[in-house]
Structure 1
Amino acid sequence: MTGTLAHLTLAFGLLGNIVSFMVFLAPIPTFYKVYKKKSTEGFQSAPYVVGLFSAMLWIYYALLKSNVLLLITINTFGCVIETVYIVFFLFYAPKKARMESLKLIILLIFVGFGLIVLLTQFLASGVTRGVIVGWICLVFSLCVFVAPLGVLRQVIKTKSVEYMPILLSVALTLSAVMWFFYGLLLGDFNIAIPNVLGFTFGIIQMILYLMYKNNKPVTHEKSVDIGEQKIPELIKDQKVIDVVKLNAYMQAEILPVVAKNAHKLDHAAPDPQAFHNIPNHTIEVGA
């Protein structure tokens, strides 16, 4: 690698690290709310658990390579911050949510990641091991980058960009560009290829934002019984938020690209259809 090429690679990697670092810190307002209310309420741990899994997976891949130090630095930070978020969540989560989170942690972190490491260590060796892990990372990343399709569909359906903040969309697009060129200059297409999708979806999101930015959010009102009271409920099809959160974390931690993944990172609300089953909870709609 020539001097100029090495400098360009370093520059793209550093910029990607900086943006990804900021995205990792994005959920802090969420956990501050949890701390003040001493309850996780409708927040979910899945994006943080999956984020931890992806960061660990990419660290494992990077350790099998010899020239991707910047991939190790950002994902190491990702492992630390995601672990803090998960511990914080488990401390304040109700029993049912805590048990579901622990099941997901066991399934994904211990069983899933453990099997990947064991199988690749015993059934592959040398360059082959790196190739196999690289393909696992590539497929996982591609699946994650498809996640915004649900959000794009929701935006078109409601003609509202309520769940698609433009600043985050821009950051995602720029991040995808940085990590694409980082992978391309390294000759590592496991890093570069998924970011093509990231860039493409980022452009689409910004186009949709310009089309619908002046439209009012679509909400539906109806009465909800809470104890002996009836209060108006604003339903915003918030299942979409979980998808975006997941995408954001994946992009920030896997490649690591920033995000998605995310659009309203700090809010994952329960399915509106299950709303009536929530007894005596304070309801908070929106960020």
Structure 2
Amino acid sequence: MSGTLAHLTLAFGLLGNVVSFMVFLAPIPTFYKVYKKKSTEGFQSAPYVVGLFSAMLWIYYAFLKSNVLLLITINSVGCFIETLYICFFLFYAPKKARMESLKLIVLLIVVGFGLIVVLTQFLASGVTRGVIVGWICLVFSLCVFVAPLGVLRQVIKTKSVEYMPILLSVALTLSAVMWFFYGLLLGDFNIAIPNVLGFTLSVIQVILYFKYKNKKPVFDEKISELEAKSYPISDMEEKKKPQVMDHKTKDVVKHCASTGFDVLPVVTHLEVTGHDASRATFEPKAGPNVPSHIIDVAA
């Protein structure tokens, strides 16, 4: 039984490495856009700085344990990839965004991670140190998994999944499953517990995607309602009706009337281009001794 559990643990750990590697590669299309435009535009560096901090934290935790080698491998790869993303971002970011990113890096990576390492090394020892770092990893992972709640709220509010890519949601779901079972089989609840929340939120994202993928965004509906209120149907129909006559047409009608034509059914068609009547077609009703014909007037 012990051998079977070891093999299962290894299998889930390897699968977790593969899926997590795919998740780390997910931002590549974003950085390709940055490279093409030579600008970071509205993109933020925070997700990549937080990702680097998380990977470093898990590596530190793994070094305090004795049986989580696969946790070290994937987070080492994660540190390398996230560092590349951050360097790429800093290279193309405008000055203001670059300075904000550097402040966040100093605050989170240098000060935050540095304090955790120093305090746990000097204020704790042995198993206690691993427990403290494990709880820090657990709390931080829960905070990271709770972050997408803003996206879920936005999807429900707008009924649009434009900013929630399905492939990333599926990858996060699979990653949470693999690492949950890896932590469970190891008996390490600092790894398993956060991934319960991660799995739940990822499944909700997938469900919302399939629910709203064919829905019309609420924004468009609001615009339609506003237009309907501003322009009642009767008014819109009136606007669609062609303009019957302008001052030139009236002059022609008066001329027709003075020459013996009946002006009642005068204008039957008028094409308006711009602000002028470019071509008006009249079908006057002839008087008793005048034959019916069509007068074609070019403005």
TM bucket (normalised to shorter chain) is 0.7 to 0.9
CA apart distance, 1:144: 1.4
Q: Is 1:26 the equivalent of 2:16? A: no
Q: Is 1:207 the equivalent of 2:197? A: no
Deviations 1:39-80 (A, max 9, x none): 212111111111111110000000000000010000001111
Q: 1:141 to 1:40 in 2, by over 3 A?
A: same
The residue number in structure 1 matching 2:139 is 139
Q: Per the alignment, in what secondary structure is the counterpart of residue 112 of structure 1? A: helix
Which ranges in structure 2 are unaligned for 5 or more consecutive residues? 221-299
Cα pair 1:9 1:182 within 8 Å, conserved: yes
TM-score, normalization: structure 1?
A: 0.74
- Partner Cα distance (1:107, 1:74) in 2: 24
- Partner Cα distance (1:65, 1:170) in 2: 30
The residue number in structure 1 matching 2:256 is none
TM-score, normalization: structure 2?
A: 0.71
Deviations 1:224-282 (A, max 9, x none): xxxxxxxxxxxxxxxxxxxxxxxxxxxxxxxxxxxxxxxxxxxxxxxxxxxxxxxxxxx
Q: Per the alignment, in what secondary structure is the counterpart of residue 66 of structure 1? A: coil
CA apart distance, 1:32: 2.1
CA apart distance, 1:31: 1.8
Q: Is 1:42 the equivalent of 2:50? A: no
The residue number in structure 2 matching 1:51 is 51
The residue number in structure 2 matching 1:149 is 149
Q: Which has the higher contact order (CA 8 A, sep 6+)?
A: 1
Q: 1:22 to 1:116 in 2, by over 3 A?
A: same
Cα pair 2:22 2:171 within 8 Å, conserved: no
Q: Is 1:13 the equivalent of 2:30? A: no
Cα pair 1:138 1:191 within 8 Å, conserved: yes
The residue number in structure 1 matching 2:228 is none
The residue number in structure 1 matching 2:252 is none
The residue number in structure 1 matching 2:74 is 74
Percent of pairs with identical residues: 91
Q: Is 1:2 the equivalent of 2:2? A: yes
Counterpart of 1:64, as a letter, is L
CA apart distance, 1:165: 2.5
CA apart distance, 1:206: 2.2
- Partner Cα distance (1:15, 1:25) in 2: 16
Q: Is 1:171 the equivalent of 2:171? A: yes
Counterpart of 1:88, as a letter, is F
Counterpart of 1:175, as a letter, is S
CA apart distance, 1:207: 2.2
Q: Per the alignment, in what secondary structure is the counterpart of residue 112 of structure 2? A: helix
Q: How large is the RMSD of aligned CA atoms in angstroms?
A: 1.6
The residue number in structure 1 matching 2:158 is 158
Which ranges in structure 1 are unaligned for 5 or more consecutive residues? 221-287
Larger deviation, residues 30-39 vs 101-110: 30-39
The residue number in structure 1 matching 2:110 is 110
Cα pair 2:19 2:175 within 8 Å, conserved: yes
Cα pair 1:176 1:199 within 8 Å, conserved: yes
Deviations 1:9-42 (A, max 9, x none): 0110111100111121122222222222222121
Q: Please give the residue correspondences for 1:121-270 in structure 2 after superposition, counting only pairs within 5 Å.
A: 121-219=121-219
Cα pair 2:23 2:171 within 8 Å, conserved: no
Deviations 1:182-206 (A, max 9, x none): 0000000000001111111122222
Cα pair 1:162 1:217 within 8 Å, conserved: no
CA apart distance, 1:91: 1.3
Q: Per the alignment, in what secondary structure is the counterpart of residue 141 of structure 2? A: helix
